[in-house]
Amino acid sequence: MSTNVAMITGGAKGIGRGIALDLAAKHWKVAFCYRTSEADAKATAAAIVERGGQALSIRCDVSDPVAAKQFVGRVEQEWGQIDALINGAGPYHRVNLFDETVAGWKEMFDGNLHPIFYLAQAATPGMKARRSGRIINFGMANADQMISQPDVTAHYIAKAGVLILTRTLAKLLAPHGITVNTISPGFIDSGSAPPGELAAMTKRIPAGYIGTVEDTVAAVRYLLSPEARYVNGANIQISGAWGI
């Protein structure tokens, strides 16, 4: 039975939940954090146990650097190590740039980009000591193009920053046996968008259909596998060729 430990931000629902349940089926210990979704967190923790894993559910806002460090410390204290850090949390809102507030602008960076830095600083010393570890960050399918985004400006810039941070971490951590990669979803039916909005986007997706949580989970599964040991600094787009 595996004794691997995963730490997932935003793991109570959506894609994060799908990853947690997939790892649970392989008997991983899964720690995940949430901010407000307490009922979803309880349900996810129960489902992890039902599938053969161990669960640790913690209310935590990883946009706070102190809380992020405490989250890592709690997991290491509970289970001794962190084998995989999966940065799945990421708030999103749609508003024209000139209607954006200072608080809304900051929220996009505090929620999508900064926690990856905080958590990497806290989690990698243990990974370095074991000369093993996987970090997976979540981007956005077309963030590598750096095109204008009038209605999601801060979110888009933050996701472009995720790609740069991923590559930097990959270069710094590769000598220590650690891989760092990005998964960049397009339109995924994860429960975060209204079905009507997703349906309207279908005609813009070359593959002709909306992606599923399992499509994203499969990419995570690969990046955590021994087969991906030499994949480092990559950006895997899960978009049916949208956004390329």
> What are the pLDDT tens digits along the chain (244 aa)?
448 999 999 989 999 999 999 999 999 999 999 988 889 999 999 999 999 999 999 999 999 999 999 999 999 999 999 999 999 988 889 999 999 999 999 999 999 999 999 999 999 999 999 999 999 999 999 999 999 999 999 999 999 999 999 999 999 999 999 999 999 999 999 887 777 778 888 999 999 999 999 999 999 999 999 999 999 999 999 999 999 9
Q: Which domain holds residue 138?
A: 5-238
- 3-state DSSP call for residue 188? strand
Q: Which amino acid would we find at residue 231?
A: V
63: tokens are 């946009």
Q: Is 156 known to be catalytic?
A: yes
Total structural domains within the chain: 1
Q: How many CA atoms lie within 13 A of 71 on its CB side?
A: 33
Q: Please choose, from the candidates 185, 179, 221, the residue with its C-alpha nearest in 3D space to the C-alpha of residue 25.
A: 221
- DSSP code, position 109: H
Q: Is residue 243 part of a domain?
A: no
> 34, 92, 118, 156: which one is catalytic?
156
The answer to whether residues 36 and 69 touch, using CB atoms and an 8 Å cutoff, is no
Which CATH number covers residue 140?
3.40.50.720
The answer to whether residues 6 and 24 touch, using CB atoms and an 8 Å cutoff, is no
Q: Is residue 69 part of a domain?
A: yes
Q: Max CA-CA distance within the chain?
A: 54
Report pTM: 0.95
Q: Is residue 244 part of a domain?
A: no
Q: Is residue 51 part of a domain?
A: yes
| Rounded CA separation 131/92 (Å) | 35
The answer to whether residues 34 and 40 touch, using CB atoms and an 8 Å cutoff, is yes
